[in-house]
Chains A and B, each alone.
Chain A
């Protein structure tokens, strides 16, 4: 078994094809991140550094979302770091699956995100897992950054962000990140409890802090409840949704 498959083989690999289409779909919405970041007051290079170095969609949106709402840099950093905790779990899963060694560990850590983890864990053959993880990880990294730059430049040229409804775009983006994780009753209850805690906290604490109050509420629920342990931890994409539908004849 070779770990570097021939190009012909690669084109026939299901994991490669899935990872490629996922890369294009995910990369494209880098446009919305770039435009929103600039509309929230970040300059071009701050926006690019977030996409190049932070590289985790949810955390990036969280960082600019807190700042856009008038929150401090500390609050933005904290919200982004807490939202990135799940990537540590993904790292452990990918490490167990692919066993990267040497410098590859450091590279694979950087591209350990929802999408690359989902692509790899949807395959059972180790070679396919490897192709899926690296294709999605590197593909999304490249396209996400190209489209972030396009969005940032376009956002700069757009003038008043409110006129274009960009604040509404941010609301939609967060709901879209949350939505796929609301499978079952407990996630809905957690989301509702945290939304309520946020609304109650807004008038009493500085901007940005209500999000951290919600994080504490969510953490306490997680610590003391004894429900399924992988709630919210299934990556927020299902690259194999169509396949599942074909196989089981219903929505997943």
Chain B
């Protein structure tokens, strides 16, 4: 039940953020600093989420099959594969490494 609450708050905030762009005078948001922060934060959060999902296990750091997924995804992206192919490559690499008994 608790999770439902945070899901709904997240949904409300997501919509309000989008809506703000339509109602706040452009001058306010067009400040280079605010635009730059919104951009760097997007990059920083995605980098952090990648790392957490690759090596964090609770409060520990581990190297397991997920590292294989990270490498496979990077190779697929470098070869300019579409999103879904990248995701499947990551899953396949992790599943294969587990099948071979690692991680």
Contacts and interface: CB of A to CB of B under 8 A. Distances in A.
Q: Specify whether A and B are partners.
A: yes
A210 B96 CA distance: 29
A171 B69 contact: yes
A202 B98 contact: no
B91 A74 contact: no
Contact of B48 (A70, A181, A197): A197
A194 B61 CA distance: 16
A219 interface: yes
Contacts of A179: 77
B100 interface: no
Given A53-B11, A77-B9, A174-B49, A91 B39 contact: no
Contacts of A172: 69-70, 72-73, 76, 86-87, 89-91
Interface string A20-32: 0000011011011
Interface in A207-252: 207, 210-211, 213-215, 217-219, 221-223, 225, 227-233
Nearest to B61: A202
B40 A190 contact: yes
Contacts of B77: 175-176, 179
Interface string B74-97: 101100001110111111111110
A95 B22 contact: yes
A87 B56 contact: no
B86 to A, nearest CB: 4
23 contacts: A46-B4, A56-B18, A65-B53, A68-B53, A73-B2, A73-B7, A74-B6, A81-B14, A84-B14, A85-B42, A92-B22, A163-B98, A165-B65, A165-B96, A167-B65, A168-B65, A172-B76, A172-B86, A176-B73, A178-B46, A207-B56, A215-B48, A223-B33
